[in-house]
């Protein structure tokens, strides 16, 4: 029967991992907030289905396929467990101390905390909060899950602690407490101590003590990057989904050559001259009006010289091709030649022709 459970669970796990990878790609390509919200809900359902498929693997006595090569910060492990709970919006993650979980135990610790959070949300009123906190202690790292429900009787808490300390054989007739059995199996596998106690608020507090061999300094964990999640079988870093609403993702195009801005050309007034006004030769009162380039030599009037304003276009020299440089030098040489010719012939008297180059 264990082999049957394990075979069914492995097949479901393979399909769920492929589904989560497909959803992750769709979320990255979508920028519409409504579509992202729908994809996130489907993603959350698939994540919960993956945890239930792993329950079958644990019942069969095998190890789930999720694993990490590097340590993961405890805060990200807690957030990963919150993302696998149905009422994740009710879970409040309080400040968690520094520390990291070794990669081989990350998947099981996430599953263990997720089962405790699921019980806390299921057995507490829907308007209450479930609080999670953690801190480093001399014997390892402690994570506490506290609800504000109706609580449990002292005899029931004592019986549950015995089952958590010494996991019994799985009895299909008592499947109502399947989550408690899964927690006991995962805790025994990594020598994690789990204990229930009454909460001062009337509910139940679950205390999880991770031993020293499962906890390392947070500096040993890889830095967490945006967009990474608790997916796949060998993730390098972990960022679980926050219980708050997800922000809209922007579609980032593939990197390509930087676009070349087009030069903005505009006429530049010559030194010693005011900008000319374009108007009729005379106003309504009969007074004359200045006409652009009227006092210039004929050769200069036909010269449509423009200058690239460096304040409007800032092109680095490294982006200009040899052909562009050749044209610029040719234009500069032609402009200076026209200026020298005009000064020798006397046609440019009374005007400044030295500034016509571009």
Tell me the pLDDT of the chain averaged across its residues.
Answer: 75
Q: Please report the pLDDT score of residue 281 as a whole number.
A: 57
User: In whole angstroms, what is the distance from residue 85 CA to residue 83 CA?
Assistant: 6
Confidence of residue 141 (pLDDT cuts 50, 70, 90): very high
User: In whole angstroms, what is the distance from residue 1 CA to residue 252 CA?
Assistant: 49
Confidence of residue 244 (pLDDT cuts 50, 70, 90): very low
User: In whole angstroms, what is the distance from residue 260 CA to residue 252 CA?
Assistant: 19
311 has a pLDDT exceeding 50: yes
Cα 93 to chain center, whole Å?
19
Beta bridge mates, 290:
none
| SS3 label, residue 331 | helix
Q: Please report the pLDDT score of residue 260 as a whole number.
A: 52
Tens digits of residue pLDDT in 46-71? 878 888 777 777 777 777 767 788 89
**Tokens, residue 136:** 């480093």
Alpha helix segments (H runs only) across 148-198:
154-165, 178-190
Q: What backbone torsions phi and psi does residue 38 show, to the nearest 5 degrees?
A: -65, -40
Which position has the higher pLDDT, 70 or 349? Answer: 70
Measure CA of the first residue to CA of the last residue in the chain; give whole Å: 87
Q: Please report the pLDDT score of residue 37 as a whole number.
A: 84
Cβ neighbours of 218 (radius 10 Å): 16
Taking every pair of Cα atoms in the chain, the longest distance, rounded to a whole number of angstroms, is 116
Confidence of residue 306 (pLDDT cuts 50, 70, 90): low
User: In whole angstroms, what is the distance from residue 350 CA to residue 279 CA?
Assistant: 24
Say whether pTM exceeds 0.75: no
**Tokens, residue 315:** 């092109």
Tens digits of residue pLDDT in 81-90? 998 888 888 9
DSSP assignment of 252-310: PPPP-PPP-PPP-EE--PPTT-PPP----SB-TTS-B---TTTTS-HHHHS----EE-T
Which position has the higher pLDDT, 348 or 6? Answer: 6
Top mean pLDDT of 29-43, 198-212, 267-281 is at 198-212
Residues 108 and 228 sit within 8 Å (Cβ to Cβ): no
Top mean pLDDT of 25-34, 189-198, 236-245 is at 189-198
Tens digits of residue pLDDT in 269-290? 444 444 444 445 555 666 777 7
Residues 314 and 262 sit within 8 Å (Cβ to Cβ): no
**Tokens, residue 248:** 């809209």
Looking at residue 119, the DSSP 8-state letter turns out to be H
User: In whole angstroms, what is the distance from residue 221 CA to residue 334 CA?
Assistant: 65
């Amino acid at each position: 029967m264990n082999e049957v459970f394990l075979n069914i669970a492995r097949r479901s796990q393979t399909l769920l991992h492929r589904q989560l990878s497909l959803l992750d790609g769709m979320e990255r390509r979508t920028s519409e907030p409504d579509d992202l919200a729908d994809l996130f809900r489907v993603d959350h359902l698939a994540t919960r289905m993956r945890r239930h498929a792993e329950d079958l693997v644990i019942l069969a006595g095998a190890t789930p396929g999720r694993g990490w090569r590097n340590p993961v910060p405890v805060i990200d492990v807690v957030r990963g467990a919150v993302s696998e709970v149905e009422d994740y919006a009710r879970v409040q993650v309080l400040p968690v101390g520094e520390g990291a979980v070794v990669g081989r135990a990350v998947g099981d610790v996430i599953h263990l905390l997720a089962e405790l959070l699921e019980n806390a949300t299921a057995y507490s009123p829907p308007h209450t909060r479930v609080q999670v906190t953690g801190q480093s202690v001399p014997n390892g790292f402690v994570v506490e899950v506290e609800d504000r429900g109706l609580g449990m009787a002292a005899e029931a808490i004592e019986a549950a602690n015995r089952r958590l300390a010494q996991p019994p054989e799985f009895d299909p007739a008592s499947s109502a407490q399947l989550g408690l059995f899964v927690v006991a199996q995962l805790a025994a596998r990594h020598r994690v101590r789990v204990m229930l106690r009454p909460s001062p608020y009337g509910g139940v507090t679950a205390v999880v003590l991770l031993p020293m061999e499962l906890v390392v300094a947070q500096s040993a964990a890889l830095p967490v990057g945006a967009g990474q999640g608790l997916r796949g079988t060998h993730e390098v870093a972990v960022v679980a989904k926050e219980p708050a609403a997800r922000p809209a993702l922007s579609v980032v195009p593939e990197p390509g050559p930087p676009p070349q801005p087009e030069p903005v050309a505009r006429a530049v007034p010559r030194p010693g001259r005011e900008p000319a006004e374009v108007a009729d030769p005379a106003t309504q009162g009969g007074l004359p009006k200045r006409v652009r380039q009227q006092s210039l030599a004929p050769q200069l009037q036909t010269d449509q010289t423009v200058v690239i304003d460096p304040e409007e276009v800032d092109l680095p020299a490294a982006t200009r091709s040899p052909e562009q440089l050749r044209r610029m030098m040719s234009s500069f040489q032609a402009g200076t030649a026209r200026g020298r010719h005009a000064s020798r012939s006397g046609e440019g008297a009374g005007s400044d022709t030295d500034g016509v180059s571009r």
